[in-house]
Amino acid sequence: MRLGVLDLGSNTVHLLLVDAHYGAAPVPASKLKMPLRLSEHLNADGSVDDVAVDLLIDFVVRGQELVEDKGATELMAFATSAVREAANGEQVLRRVREETGLDIQVLSGADEARMTFLAARRWFGWSSGRILLLDIGGGSLELASGTDEEPDVAVSVPLGAGRLTRDFLIGDPPTPESVRDVRRHARARIAEVAGRLRRVGDPRMAVATSKTFKQLARIAGAAPSSDGAHVPRVLHRDDLHEIVPRLSAMTAGERSRIPGVSEGRSAQMVAGAVVAEAAMDLLELDELVICPWALREGLILRRLDGLPL
């Protein structure tokens, strides 16, 4: 079957169409994305503004047209932390449903971690043993650990790169004091959940997904995305110790000129790097293997399995 999954994230709205069959890897057929950045469209009361809702509805309409044109038979739609935490999240989803007919399901942070973990498990297989997963989004950091397809522990911490950039970082480049504030805050929040992850056992493989980790690995010398998904890519903790001060001293414009760093993500790279470094330090991870599959693939796999979230 050809099916689609629409992921309304804190940074970007993604629509991924895949040819998928039970027992086989989903094969990408088409995609559409828009850098909506919901965190930049919040009113003083924490509600999403009308401009963002209009843009979202326009994207959904275009996505539905693409689904029809490409012959997909099903479209699943999910929202993550930005809508989950918005003061008017329910009203936003109701308006989308009324104007497009599309129902968007809001995922909990734990479900985000679980579905992303499933994608990593299927990508690396049973031989990888216990996997520890890290995923940095725009609004939250997801972590999960397990030996099966369902993790033993799955947690979500409000340490997204976009959120921390908005709430803490001052200036361009950011002031050293504000970078220290992000570092202090991130380490305190990760320390609160590190014990839960460590108690279930040491991982045989530590895995990272998300654009933030992929771009950090690219800065550290990993192969570009044009080399394909199956090229091994690894991010070392020692590299992060050098990357964080380097990125912190740059403007967003200067960061965007680094190979592998997109212009849309350049402003958030300092916060993302600080969170990545904090997680690797506190969880004592020397390296992270980059996984090309993440939340959207996990949701597709769960749909093909015929199991509820």
Q: Smallest Cα–Cα separation from 219: which of 176, 252, 179, 262? A: 262
Given a cut of 50, the residues of the chain with pLDDT beneath it are none
pLDDT at 128: 97
Which residues are registered as beta bridge partners of 18?
3, 28
pLDDT at 146: 98
Q: What is the pTM of this model?
A: 0.94
Q: What are 289-308's pLDDT values in tens digits?
A: 999 999 999 999 999 888 77
What torsion, rounded to 10 degrees, do the Cα atoms 302, 285, 12, 84 define?
70
pLDDT at 40: 81
Task: Report how far residue 20's alpha carbon sits from residue 76's, in angstroms, rounded to the nearest whole number.
Answer: 14
For helices 269-282 and 211-219, give the axis angle rounded to 10 degrees.
90
Question: Which domains does the chain show, CATH number per domain?
Answer: 2-106 (3.30.420.40), 125-295 (3.30.420.150)
